[in-house]
């Protein structure tokens, strides 16, 4: 019976996704060992610094087991020493003679070298199975590893008339199911970013409460003038706090956070400098949840890689701040335009999602 490589790669991709939220700044990878139309080994990269997917899939199998076996792996096997030895070498030593790769790695240390090494050593390599889907999975890693800056997801919720909060009453516009979805996004991220106005107006904890998996999340605040007091909720919840500022006030206050002084650009923190510094700190996935000025600055500078607008079925009216504020775009030609966006409904809320690739 002829193997269905696409179905097998889908299984490997499902395995890979189990590592999301745990393996960054490494990519999530899944692998299968198939022989006689049966999966005899499988694995995924579980945590940063731990064994890679191929290593886990091969555990407990000997050369006899691997005769005429095929390795299915979502990402090109590495060919360099990092936290762990090269997987390409391990595959060669195992005796496996056929490898099916989903997508080539864009890491300059790999970038085709793993596949080339396998082929030089007599391994038949088939490439590009479910490549488009896997490129989406690896978009955050590919951007981070090539550009050395985070993959930026900007998320905000608003009413149908563009308001971000009621004057009184419930703090959340979205449903509880949507909240769980948002906190899943937080778990899958390395850091969450807000502007100082969001901290002052909402006093958020910026932690993971509505998702069953928990971890420490780096909380990033842009505080140009040093207005934080140090007793806000975000200092009391799980995870470290990192503050970017143009002022010396925060160090003078002795707030419990790492502070990084950044030059201003047009009266605001230089957001591109912030992104480069986060990249140096190995932040691969950055989730931005507010506020209106920060959202506009990211879009104006074309730093958004994924945009998620959650539309809630309310009309508030009044003169409340819009979800996106700042100076605003002056023309449609200069506006942030969403091509090829997708929509999905969660409970009463409609999510409009756009991804840059």
* CA-wise closest residue to 88 among 65, 121, 40: 121
Measured in degrees and rounded to the nearest 5, phi and psi for residue 281 equal: -85, 10
Q: Give bridge partners of residue 152 from the DSSP assignment.
A: 286
How open is the CA angle 118-108-139, to the nearest 5 degrees? 100
* Residue at token pair 């003038």: 225
Contacts of 15 (CB under 8 A, 6+ apart): 30, 31, 32, 42, 43, 44, 53
Where are the strands (E) in the chain, listed by range? Answer: 30-35, 38-44, 70-75, 98-103, 124-126, 151-159, 191-195, 218-222, 241-245, 258-261, 264-265, 268-269, 285-290, 306-312, 342-346, 349-355
* CA-wise closest residue to 26 among 34, 35, 36, 16: 16
| Cα distances (angstroms) measured from residue 285 to each of 49, 82, 142, 215, 356 | 18, 21, 11, 14, 14
Instruction: Using DSSP bridges, classify how beta strands 98-103 and 70-75 pair: parallel, antiparallel or unpaired.
Output: parallel
Contacts of 251 (CB under 8 A, 6+ apart): 259
Task: Choose, from 54, 158, 232, 297, the residue flagged as catalytic.
Answer: 54
Would residue 54 show up in a list of annotated catalytic residues for this protein?
yes
Q: Torsion angle of alpha carbons 169, 172, 175, 179, nearest 10°?
A: -150
Contacts of 197 (CB under 8 A, 6+ apart): 290, 291, 292, 293
The set of catalytic residues is 54
């Amino acid at each position: 019976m002829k193997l269905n490589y696409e179905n097998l790669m889908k299984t490997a991709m499902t395995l890979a996704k189990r590592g999301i939220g745990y393996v960054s700044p490494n990519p999530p990878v899944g692998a299968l060992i198939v022989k006689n139309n049966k999966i005899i080994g499988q694995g995924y990269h579980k945590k940063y610094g731990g064994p890679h997917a191929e290593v886990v899939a091969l555990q407990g199998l000997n050369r006899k087991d691997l005769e005429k076996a095929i390795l299915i792996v979502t990402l090109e096997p590495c060919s360099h020493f990092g936290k762990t030895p090269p997987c390409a070498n391990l595959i060669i030593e195992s005796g496996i003679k056929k490898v099916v790769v989903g997508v080539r790695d864009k890491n300059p240390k790999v970038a085709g070298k793993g596949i080339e090494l396998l082929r030089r050593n007599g391994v038949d390599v088939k490439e590009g199975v479910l490549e488009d889907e896997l490129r989406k999975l690896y978009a955050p890693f590919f951007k981070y590893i090539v550009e050395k800056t985070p993959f930026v997801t900007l998320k905000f919720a608003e009413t149908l008339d563009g308001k971000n909060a009621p004057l009184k009453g419930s703090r959340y516009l979205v449903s509880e199911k949507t909240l769980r979805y948002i906190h899943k996004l937080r778990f899958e991220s390395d850091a969450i970013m807000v502007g100082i106005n969001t901290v002052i107006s909402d006093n958020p904890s910026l932690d993971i409460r509505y998702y069953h998996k928990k971890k420490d999340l780096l909380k990033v605040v842009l505080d140009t003038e040093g207005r934080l007091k140090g007793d806000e909720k975000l200092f009391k919840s799980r995870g470290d706090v990192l503050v970017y500022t143009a002022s010396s006030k925060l160090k003078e206050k002795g707030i419990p956070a790492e502070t990084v002084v950044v030059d201003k650009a047009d009266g605001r923190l230089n957001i591109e400098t912030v992104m480069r510094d986060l990249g140096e700190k190995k932040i691969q996935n950055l989730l931005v949840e507010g506020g209106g000025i920060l959202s506009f600055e990211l879009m104006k500078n074309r730093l958004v890689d994924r945009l998620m607008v959650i539309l809630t079925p309310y009309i508030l009216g009044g003169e409340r701040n819009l979800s996106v504020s700042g100076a605003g775009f002056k023309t449609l030609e200069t506006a942030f335009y969403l091509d090829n966006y997708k929509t999905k409904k969660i409970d009463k809320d409609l999510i409009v999602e756009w991804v840059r690739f």
